[in-house]
Amino acid sequence: MSAVPIADFSNDTIWITIVKAVVILVFLLLSVLFAIWFERRLVARFQQRSGPNWNGPFGLLQSLADAMKLLLKEDITVKAADKVIYLIAPIISVFCAFMVFAVIPFGPEVSIFGVVTPLQMTDFPVAVLYILGITALGVYGIVLGGWASGSTYPLLGAVRSTAQIISYELAMSLALVSVFLWSGSMSTSQIVGSQENTWWAFTLLPAFVLYVISMVGETNRLPFDLPEAEGELVGGFHTEYSSMKFAWFFLAEYINMLNVSAVATTLFLGGYRAPFGIGLINDGMFDTGWWGVVWFLAKLWLIMAFFVWVRGTLLRFRYDQFMNFGWKVLIPAGLVTVVFYAVLKGLSTGPDPVLSFGGEFLTLEWRQLLLGVVGGLVVIAVLMLLFPGEDEEKPAKAGASARGGAAKVGAGRSATTSGTKRPGTDKPGRKRATEEPFDAFAGGFPVPPLPGQELPPSPRRARVTTPAAAPAASPAAGAGEDEK
Amino acid sequence: MTNPFIPILVMAALALLMAIGGVAASAVIGPKRYNKVKVDAYECGIQPSPHAMGMGRFPIKYYLVAMTFIIFDIEVVFMYPWAVAFTELAMFGLIAMLGFLFLITVPFIYEWRRGGLDWD
Amino acid sequence: MFVAPHIEWAALSPVLILLGAAVIGVLVEAFVPRGSRRLVQVVVAALALGGALVAVTWRWTVVQQDGPSSLVAGALREDAPALLFQAILLILALLALLVIADRARGEDAFTPTASAIPGSEYEGQARRAGLAQTEVFPLTMFAVTGMLVFPAAADLLTMFIALEVLSLPLYLLAGMARRRRLVSQEASLKYFLLGAFSSAFFLMGLALLYGYAGSVHLADIATAVPLVSGMDGLLLAGSALVIIGLLFKVGAVPFHSWTPDVYQGAPTPITGFMAACTKVAAFAALLRFVYVVTPGLGWDLAPFLWIVAILTMVVGTVLAIVQTDMKRTLAYSSVAHAGFLLLGIIALDERGISGILVYLLAYGLATVGAFALVTLVRTKDAEGNLVGEAGHLSEWAGLGRRSPVLAVCFALFLLSFAGIPLTAGFTGKFAVFGAAVAGGDWPLVVIAVLASAAAAFFYVRIIVLMFFTEPATGEDGSATTVVRSEGLTAVAVVVCAVGTVLVGVVPTAVLAVAAQASKFLL
């Protein structure tokens, strides 16, 4: 299996290319309109209501109506915005979102206007790397949009979004490395071509699961959509945008969903290949020509339905929960997957069972290597489980003052982990900042006492003891008690 | 069509045209009724805090996330060509890459234990 | 078709031992409980340096028998100069490690937590909780690994990687001083920025040389120099840029602006480590590059190198005379020494290599010893609490009366810097100046001797200050005191002093060994 693409573009003229580009753009726009309708209807069904059903048959024209409405709205530029970047950010987002579909194969070779051409705009030996790069560029749109809005909440929302996207991008890339290992190429048509016998979703099931989880995290969808949740930061990075600029952000998000679904289809679900059994009917009639588009779209919308299903079913993760999940679960899982599949591939296709590495000193057999790698992983896992957590690292007087200190920007390794690391197994023997009296205002703003801490007696208690003021003081004392 | 990147250029041109066209269209078509509160920053209805106070600052832990991401992203980038050329590099490549992964995993473990990956 | 290269594990053993120790150090940081972490780290580091020294000695015997060889498909060279430079590096690193690992009154020279904002309450909490930044040890091991590869690198890419591996831990280490945190952080940032710029220069030169010769291997570039014609601009610009990148590391004028600030701001044990070992490694790489690639360019590069050498010697000496801070004085004096060492580079003569070897050994011993002694001289305020190191020169007055041993050792190191006979410095200067004369650069030697005489002035001034001046007490009642450490610094100082005296009094053994390192493997 060579790394070069198997799709042959030698017959393409510039007109064919332009036709394909226009078709892809139209397809994407229509798909987004359809996806919005699809999501609203399906989520409504999950919630036992009917969704939009007023504009057009089955509510199909609802999203078109919404898009037209957005076009006709006033284009506001907020006063505090950085004008140039404020304008460019949504353009970057939507531009990068459109560009991914240029290398996605919709089908095998067909004849368009008499020219035999594959149903794909272009392909090169590093197509998936191009996709990953363009997706990473799209993150610029988010962070610049939030920063250029000139107010703190969009900036915070943008930064949180970005941090989440890049964390899950790592897990996604690791899952994709397994696919590159087994298909021997990064070209999309070659990867589809290598899935003749089995789809990679079955051979590389852990990688597929990893990819599906990280693709939900990458697109800021539930259960990972805290940066966009309504109650948290209003709209996140697109709070200050209106009309078409907002529409472009919205469009970019949905096209990103389509992008990752298309990548999942191409890399894991066999792309435009017909499912098993159907491909055998009539000497593979259903696996040629325009039929590929049918299978591709079916798989794409299957994954989109999965997105909507997950949105309708799962609860939202808290931000620190899903960052922990991304870094501490997905990335080690990804690394283990890559190592495992690399060794497996070496075992299955390695030419020599015994290869010398380093001349006289080191001669390794594949079996020994597998043993060594698995043994090493087991040792690491045992070490990590055996050694206690880092609670004793931070200074013992963590409780009050450090929580106040955490509010300050850049307080280094602020010590609030001493409480949150293992909330269930809070050791009662550890000193819990009971050495000095709890000072609620230590950090500059009032914080409530943690369990085990007590407030010092209120200074207003002194007023209660004067007998002359006792009848008048008791309502005052009562009020003081309430306010304490 | 010998150069496979020309279609990318075509697609880029069309996408850019559409993106800019849309924004221009709404700027032209949409109404323009100026109102002071429309151009103020939105802060759930209260008076917005002046931007000069914040000056584009955000908590430093996001910067740490980005730094950590860069390191592991470079590691993954090195894995791409190795994965594609795997059969040719055979055992030597596998052991070299495993050694590289080990040398990256050690600081990952250190960062994990020291709380660098916590409550990001 | 890919052919797997043959890896000579035995020849790489010094580097691998240190790299392994550094990785183990990081794992120790992750897993070992806080109380025993420091001891484990020091033991690992010391064992690694000792083991690497043994390995280098073993490789020396092998190379003496079998001759030099190239390793890892031509990326590294194992020849006599490389091994000797590595041996010097390991000896100096071991002595510097003793100073780094030492504690005075329970406190080491490093801040409890380097990532806290200076002046925040977290710092105080960390100090009271007894945190310690024991990552210093694996960082030092990484730096020494880079320094070991630097002299042996046979192609420019490996040289660049070694340069970065040795520099990045030093950028971090420079910012970890216990007192005067802001000065320390400024030093670290300055070092990092200027180091990044100089690495960029190096890379640009590398690119130009690749364009000239079609390869990054030093041997290929050397063979291309007489062959390829018509692209002399590329060759000259490339070589000049690479040399500039290396001159920065060495601290030559006009690329020396980081030296005084970094030496002053960094924790003093790290300053000693940096001043000694980085110079050794950088001069070794510079030597290999100039001697292998540019002999044919002697005419073209000579004006540039001459100007740099003269400027370095003169500026270093003149600016050192007007300094009032002890560490800054030593910093500028190290700039002057870099100038003297450049004479050996310019000589392009066989004796230049051995001369530089001996001078670096002498200079390194005296530097590590001098900075080790600087760590012990502290200021205490009116109540007797330790405030910090005695920075100002006037605070060193009268040390000879109160701590004669310390003052005598310090005087010995200063005399070695000055090049007084019967000290190692004299042997080194003699060797280097002899090489320069043999190479035909006698004007440089004249300037060097004059600069040495001028430098002797401020060295002797410090000696006079220590022995023949009354100790001064500051207006606020502060006085200078010498702290007792846990003893490791004393061991290091003793070894350095003995070494300085030995190399000065009986230099023949060292000179003979160095003379064997006269040829670079191409």
**DSSP per-residue letters across A226-243:** GGG-HHHHTTGGGTT--H
**Smallest Cα distance from B86 to chain C, Å:** 11
Contact B62 A162 (CB under 8 A): yes
CB contact (8 A) between residue B41 and residue A417: no
pLDDT attached to residue A198: 82
CA distance C49 to C100: 14
Same domain, A376 and A291: no
Instruction: Tell me if A159 and B117 make a contact (CB, 8 A cut-off).
Output: no
Question: Would the CB atoms of A74 and B33 count as touching at under 8 Å?
Answer: yes
On average, the pLDDT of chain C sits at 90
Domain containing B34 equals 6-113
Q: Is the pLDDT of residue C475 over 60?
A: yes
CA-nearest of C127, C108, C130 to C33 is C130
| Same domain, yes or no: A307 and A370 | no
Instruction: Decide: C152 and C82 in contact? Cβ < 8 Å.
Output: yes
> What is the per-residue pLDDT for A372?
74
Give the per-residue pLDDT at A357. 52
Do the beta carbons of residue C298 and residue C357 sit within 8 Å?
Answer: no
Report the number of secondary-structure helices (H) and strands (E) in chain C. 21, 5
Alpha carbons C414 and C420: distance in angstroms, whole number: 9
Tell if the CB–CB gap between A152 and B31 is shorter than 8 Å: no
Residues of C with a Cβ under 8 Å from any B Cβ are 1-2, 4-5, 23, 26-27, 29-31
CA dist A9 and A29 (Å) reads 26
Cβ <8 Å between B103 and C23: yes
Distance between CA atoms of residues C191 and C260, nearest Å: 11
| Better-scored residue on pLDDT, A199 or B51 | A199
Select from C125, C128, C176 the residue whose CB has the most chain A CBs within 10 Å, as the one to mutate to test that interface.
Answer: C125
Residue A50 lies in a domain: yes
What percentage of chain A's residues is helix, strand, coil (to nearest 5)? Answer: 60, 5, 35
Q: Are both A380 and A304 inside the same structural domain?
A: no
Give the chain A residue whose CA is nearest to the CA of B74. Answer: A170
How many of the other CB atoms lie within 10 Å of CB of A340?
A: 17
Nearest to A66 by CA among A76, A52, A77, A49: A52
How far is A426 from A428, CA to CA, in rounded Å? 6
The answer to the question of residue A294 being in a domain is yes
Q: Which of A337, A370, A402 is the last residue of a domain?
A: A337
Q: How far apart are CA C101 and CA C272, in angstroms?
A: 13
Q: From the candidates B2, B18, B94, which should be mutated to test the interface with A, based on the most A CB atoms within 10 A?
A: B94
Q: Kindly state the tokens that stand for A48.
A: 């036992």
The per-residue pLDDT for range C374-383, each reduced to its tens digit, is 998 888 877 7
Residues of chain A falling short of pLDDT 70: 1-2, 229-235, 279-280, 282-284, 349-370, 387-436, 443, 465-484
Among A114-128, A344-358, C191-205, C290-304, where is mean pLDDT lowest? A344-358
Mean predicted confidence (pLDDT) in C332-350: 90
pLDDT value of position C203: 96
| Shared-domain flag, residues A104 and A239 | yes
Who among A12, A72, A350 is closest to B29 (CB)?
A72
Q: What share of chain B is helix, strand, coil (3-state, %, to 5)?
A: 70, 0, 30
Q: What is the pLDDT of residue A28?
A: 94
Contacts of C23 in chain B (CB under 8 A): 103, 106
Q: Do B56 and A147 touch (CB under 8 A)?
A: yes
pTM: 0.84
Q: How far is A165 from chain B (nearest CA, A)?
A: 10
Q: How far is the C-alpha of A484 from the C-alpha of A474, rounded, in Å?
A: 15
| Domain harbouring B21, CATH code | 1.20.58.1610
Interhelix angle A243-268/A62-71, rounded to 10 degrees, is 140
Average pLDDT estimate for C235-242: 91
Do residue C9 and residue A411 have CB atoms under 8 angstroms apart?
A: no
- Sign, Cα dihedral of C122, C123, C126, C128: negative
Residue A426: phi, psi to the nearest 5?
Answer: -65, 110
* Sign, Cα dihedral of C310, C316, C321, C322: positive
Per the rule left: phi > 0, alpha: psi between -120 and 50, beta: everything else, A450 is beta
pLDDT at res. C431: 92
Please give the Cα distance from C154 to C77 (Å, whole number). Answer: 6
CB atoms within 10 A of CB B105: 19
Do A261 and A361 reside in the same domain of the chain? no
Give the Å distances, CA to CA, from C142 to B71, C114, C460: 18, 18, 37
Contact A414 C129 (CB under 8 A): no
Closest CA to C414 of C403, C425, C402, C404: C425
Rounded distance between C-alpha atoms, residue A445 and residue A482, angstroms: 19
In a shared domain, residues A329 and A368? no
Find the CB nearest B106 among C2, C5, C26.
C26
In this predicted structure, what is the pLDDT of residue C131? 85
Cβ neighbours of A70 in B, within 8 Å:
26
Closest to C451 measured CA to CA, from C359, C314, C319, C346: C314
Indicate whether A88 and A172 sit together in one domain.
Answer: yes
Does residue B58 sit within a domain?
A: yes
**Distances from the Cα of C140 to the Cαs of A195, A232, C24, C41, C217, in angstroms?**
50, 46, 13, 11, 29
- Name the nearest CA neighbour of C280 among C411, C152, C194, C177: C152
Rg of the Cα atoms in chain C:
22
Per-position DSSP letters for C393-425, written without gaps between them: GGGGTTHHHH-HHHHHHHHHHHHHHHT-TTSHH
How much is the average pLDDT of C408-418?
Answer: 94
| pLDDT at site A398 | 39
- A213 and A331 assigned to the same domain: yes
- Token duo for residue C85: 């430079």
Nearest Cα of chain B lies from the Cα of C510 at a distance, in angstroms, of 39
Place of tokens 């590069």: C301
Query: How many domains does chain B fold into?
Result: 1
Instruction: Count Cβ atoms below 10 Å from residue C303 Cβ, excluding itself.
Output: 9
Q: Kindly state whether residue A168 falls inside one of the protein's structural domains.
A: yes
Distance (Å, rounded) from C-alpha A211 to C-alpha A179? 11
Which of C7, C9, C27 to probe the B interface (max B CBs under 10 A)?
Answer: C27
DSSP for C497-517, please give it.
HHHHHHHHHS-HHHHHHHHT-
Contact status, residue B73 vs residue A171, Cβ threshold 8 Å: no
Better-predicted residue by pLDDT, A128 or C109: A128
Asked whether residue A418 is domain-assigned, the answer is: no
Q: Which residue of B has its CA nearest to C20?
A: B103
Q: How confident is the model at residue B11 (pLDDT cuts 50, 70, 90)?
A: very high
pLDDT of residue C112: 86
| B80 contacts in chain A (CB < 8 Å) | 129, 177, 180, 186
Q: Evaluate whether residue B97 is within a structural domain.
A: yes
- Which chain A positions have a beta carbon within 8 Å of C4's beta carbon? 357
For A207, other C-beta atoms within 10 Å of its C-beta total 27
pLDDT at C515 over 50: yes
Do the domain assignments include residue B35? yes
State whether residue B112 is helix, strand or coil: helix
Last residue of a domain, one of A337, A365, A400: A337
Residues A367 and A274 in one domain: no
CA dihedral B70, B74, B80, B85 (to 10 degrees): 180
Interface contact A431, partner C, CB < 8 A: no
Residue B120 domain-assigned (yes or no): no
B110 to C4: CB separation less than 8 angstroms, yes or no: no
**C336: nearest Cα among C455, C456, C504, C458:** C455
Report CB contact under 8 Å: C30, B114: yes
Question: For the CA atoms of A155, A156, A157, A159, what is the dihedral angle to 10 degrees?
Answer: 80
A131 vs A172: CA distance, rounded Å: 12
Q: Is residue A369 part of a domain?
A: yes
Query: Count of A–B CB contacts within 8 Å?
Result: 258
Quote the domain boundaries for residue A365. 351-386
* Cβ partners under 8 Å of residue C66, min gap 6: none
For the beta sheet containing C377-380, the strands, ordered from the edge strand earlier in sequence to the opposite edge, are C386-389, C377-380, C479-482
Q: Compute the C-alpha angle C211/C217/C218, nearest 5°.
A: 100
Indicate whether B119 belongs to any domain: no
Given this model, what pLDDT does residue C250 score? 92
Distance from CA of C31 to the nearest CA of B (A): 8
CA distance A38 to A51: 10
A380 chain-B contacts, CB cut-off 8 A: 105, 109
Predicted confidence at residue C427, as pLDDT, reads 92
Please, what is the Cα angle at A157 between A154 and A159, to 5 degrees? 110
Residues A332 and A358 in one domain: no
Angle (deg, nearest 10), helices C232-250 and C298-321: 20
More confident residue, A356 or C389: C389
Of A74, A80, A331, the CB nearest to B51: A80
Cα–Cα dist C473/C491, whole Å: 30
- Other C-beta atoms lying within 10 Å of the C-beta of residue C180: 17
Beta carbons of C84 and C107 less than 8 angstroms apart: no
Q: Whose CA is closest to B109, among C31, C334, C400?
A: C31
What integer is the mean pLDDT of B53-58?
66
Q: Is the peptide bond before A351 cis (omega within 30 degrees of 0)?
A: no
Contacts of residue A394, defined as CB under 8 A and 6 or more positions apart, other chains included, come to A402, A413, A415, A417, A418, C129
